[in-house]
Amino acid sequence: MKKLSRKDFLKKTAIAGLAGTALLSGCKSEEEMKEQRKKKASGVSGKRYRWKMVTTWPPNFPILGVGCNLFAEWVEQMSGGRMKIRVYGGGELVPPLEAFDNVSSGTVELAHGCAYYWAGKSAAAQFFASVPFGMNAQQVNAWMYSGGGIELWRELYEKFNLVPYPAGNTGVQMGGWYNREINSIEDYKGLKMRMPGLGGKVLEKVGGTAVLSAGGEIYTNLERGVIDATEWIGPFHDYKMGFHKIAKYYYSPGWHECGTALELIVNKDKLASLPADLQAIIETAAARVNIWMLSEFEARNAEFLSKIETDSKVELRKFSPEILAQLRTYTNEIVSDLTASDPFAKKVYESYTAFRKNIIKWSEYTEQVYYNDIQS
Ligand code: CA
């Protein structure tokens, strides 16, 4: 976008102010508007669409699966029943991690999941989900919607015949459940922890072992000492897993997932075959689920953190600034290696980091002051 000089900006602002009056005087009569609406309504195709949506979540999984069901409901409501989407939990129609390929080939029309699951397809994908020590939910949304993030994401997915939309965010996650104290970076040596993704790679750099455990096995593994620690999501989901009954410490923050974005992916050809209003309805429902999921995570996590404090003997801890600084150094090394071998990942990371640098400066004078001096 062309930059406006101060003078131009003031001129435009004045014109915008005047436009309000012009709009009123130029208003069409009620009759004319009714007529126009009728014409528009008759232009809407009555064709019905029955689409399938697969997800990477267990069926009806709290917030993530439930949000997908709501997305389908909203699309049906907004389209007056012209579009119905049947939602399948992971494994019900296709295995969770095959969602991407199935939407790409058009076997199913759309899917909900998280872009870091597709790191094997393209290293750049994970920047659209979560980067350790990266941006929080509000900043990620600003980058995606207003900072060029979505455009890069679309460019990346285009070769897979997919169109992505931001469709949820977990907010800042927790650092995980530990049966060992973490007082210095040395305490990570020999630590066996369930920690997927880039976070797991950082853990290995500091001498720990990243153990892969399916969701259903984590509790038993932690209880039996097969692992010493695990990360999961945040207080709401973690409480349901029962970790507070078997772990000594609950560490904060989830430096490895500071605002994990979730995605809706739609088959590009199928999307293009829809009338314009249905395409807009999908985009609108995705934006609604984006804000709905984040709001649910924030509200439920706050509620369940208190529950964990009252219902268990778990000690809430925060990683020391020194530990976090060291983990951040290792993260930077890992991300540099990753982007060095993939030009598109480099391009996305450059956009991400430039935006992050700027917005951190802005938040230093706003959000940070607010949290430190007003809300603490
Ligand atoms: Ca997690």
Q: What is the mean pLDDT of residues 331-348?
A: 94
| pLDDT tens by residue, 155-205 | 999 999 999 999 999 999 999 999 999 999 999 999 999 998 899 999 999
Confidence of residue 2 (pLDDT cuts 50, 70, 90): low
- Kindly list the protein residues that place their beta carbon closer than 5 angstroms to ligand 1, a single-atom ion: 173, 257
Estimate the crossing angle of helix 321-340 against helix 343-365, to 10 degrees: 150
Structural domains for the chain: 49-169+260-297 (3.40.190.170)
pLDDT at 11 (0 to 100): 73
- Ligand 1 center to 103 CA (angstroms): 24
Q: What is the mean pLDDT of residues 248-253?
A: 98
Confidence of residue 7 (pLDDT cuts 50, 70, 90): confident
Amino acid at 164: P
- Ligand 1 center to 208 CA (angstroms): 17
How is residue 227 annotated by DSSP? Answer: -
User: Are the beta carbons of 270 and 109 closer than 8 angstroms?
Assistant: yes
pTM score: 0.89
| pLDDT tens by residue, 50-74 | 999 999 999 999 999 999 999 999 9
Structure tokens at 361: 């400066």
Structure tokens at 103: 């939407």
Q: What are residue 169's DSSP bridge partners?
A: 261
- Quote the percentage of the chain above a pLDDT of 70: 91
Asked, as a colleague might, if the bond just before 132 is cis with ω within 30 of 0, I would say no
- Ligand 1 center to 257 CA (angstroms): 6
Is the pLDDT at 141 greater than 50? The verdict is yes
C-alpha distances out from residue 22 to 13, 25, 29, 332, Å:
14, 5, 15, 54
Confidence of residue 303 (pLDDT cuts 50, 70, 90): very high
Distance in angstroms (rounded) separating the CA atoms of residues 207 and 190? 6
Give residues with Cβ within 8 angstroms of 60, minimum separation 6. Answer: 66, 69, 89
Amino acid at 174: M
pLDDT at 44 (0 to 100): 72
How is residue 188 annotated by DSSP? Answer: G
- Ligand 1 center to 157 CA (angstroms): 24
Structure tokens at 290: 């984006």
pLDDT at 35 (0 to 100): 60
Length in residues, the chain: 376
